[in-house]
Amino acid sequence: MDARAVLELAPDSRVASSATRLAGSSGWRGTGRDDTALWGLCAGSGAHPYQVSVDLGDRASKCSCPSRKFPCKHALALQLRHVREPLPVAEPPGWVAEWLARRRRAEVAAAPADDSPEAVARRARAREKTALARRDAVRAGVTGLADWLADVADAGIAGLPARDAEWWRSIGARMVDAQAGGLASAVDEVRRLVAAGGPAWAHDAADRLGGLHLLTRLADSPGPADVVRGRIGFPVTEEEVRAGAGWSDHWVPLLRLDSDDGLVRTVRQWVWGRAHGWVVAVRHAGGGARPGAPLAHGVRVRGVLHPYPGAPPRRVAVGEDLVERPPGPVPAPGTWREALAGLEEPLRADPWQRLHPLGCASVRPTRDTARLVDGEGRGVPVRADLGLDQALAVTGGGVFDAWGLWDGRELRLGAVALPGGAPEVVG
């Protein structure tokens, strides 16, 4: 839909004119999009910004402003902003997801059930047509990314810091248009690594570019695996996951990482299950909101989590019947060698994963606290931050069991325990 088509949705010329001016306003924040909707926050006359969302299926919109005209200027302005420059791909905040879910439920309730063989076949053909169109769009995007990577290789990584914002934006926008949001995010990660600089930027950028090259090679293989589909950006909704089978277990959320890319804040929890091992729970929030943790952190939870498709540690959606209990002991490998060897299977299944939960029993800090050494005398570098300081305070600098997030270089400590005891989260 182009700008003219958007303005044709306006209820009158005054709303259209106001929307055109508002589209260029600096009062927007927290804007984003996925395959189903656009959203954003727009500053108004009140203390709180207006929440604006647009359903891409039928261009229905919802805005918290008091206007009685539909669509309002805010909904039209958001669409105009997207026409001028595609909004960033993100996971919809809760208020958008709830509105879309209500619309879908209402559509199902209003539509008479037609289970005739003709209707079933017609719906199946429509789904197949949609899937084929998405596949063709993604295939074109992957081809374009492969060409871009070849150009980067020819020019050399050393020239990346001199590339301007438009050069980066154009390839990201092309991936968005190709409905390959995962590839767009991966390109943006390379851009951020280059912009941040530092002694290891070239190594890290080369690593990410190599991972992108591998994705372009595997994306066109027959029946790409769930991991590849997820990395490219084929969405799986939480609603679909919850409708599937769940894993009932005793879960202990031990490790947590908060991030903020300027548009979306994210909380990730690595959760250990007695029967299922490590899984990851994720929660996002846009518009400056701060997301809460999916599960009570550091507390044992008895309940059901629903796994997404993919490789271990599997992402999960929080399910039903959650009962919090005091944490009990969590087993950890006896040596760092054993712990690192346990990462072989996850790395083979998903070589693009950058953070891994890692634990070891009975470790001790070196005198300079730069490493944690196991009973065999082998150590791993540990990140000097609040988590390490708290661990030393809790354990008194003696031997302790440790769990953290391993990025291939150092361990970000997240939980400790006296040998064999219940873990205590740190950091």
Per-residue pLDDT of the chain (427 residues; tens, 9 = 90+): 678 888 888 888 889 889 988 998 889 999 999 888 999 999 987 778 999 999 998 889 999 998 888 899 999 999 999 988 889 888 888 889 889 988 888 876 666 667 788 877 887 888 788 778 878 888 999 999 999 999 999 999 999 999 999 999 889 888 877 878 889 889 999 999 999 999 999 999 999 999 999 999 998 777 668 899 989 988 788 888 988 999 999 999 999 999 887 667 889 999 999 999 999 999 877 656 678 889 999 899 999 999 999 999 999 999 876 788 888 899 999 999 999 999 999 999 999 999 999 999 999 999 999 999 999 999 999 998 888 888 888 888 889 999 999 999 999 999 999 998 999 999 7
Domain ranges of the chain: 3-110, 119-232, 245-325, 336-425
The residues that bridge with 318 in the sheet, in sequence order, are: 305
| Structure tokens that stand for 319 in this block | 């399910």
Which residue bears the tokens 């891409």? 56
CB 281 within 8 A of CB 318: yes
Residues in CB range of 359: below 8 A, 6 or more apart: 330, 332, 333, 339, 401, 402, 403, 404
Model confidence, pTM: 0.72
| Cα torsion 69, 70, 75, 79: sign | negative
What's the one-letter identity of residue 336?
A: W
DSSP-assigned states of every residue in 283-334: EEEETT--PPPSS-TTSEEEEEEEEPSSSSSEEEEE-S--EEE--------S
Instruction: Please tell me the distance from the alpha carbon of residue 408 to that of residue 343, in angstroms, as a whole number.
Output: 11
CB 393 within 8 A of CB 409: no
3-state helix, strand, coil in the chain (%, to 5): 40, 25, 35
CB 309 within 8 A of CB 244: no
Q: What is the CATH number of domain 245-325?
A: 2.40.50
Which residue bears the tokens 């066109």? 220
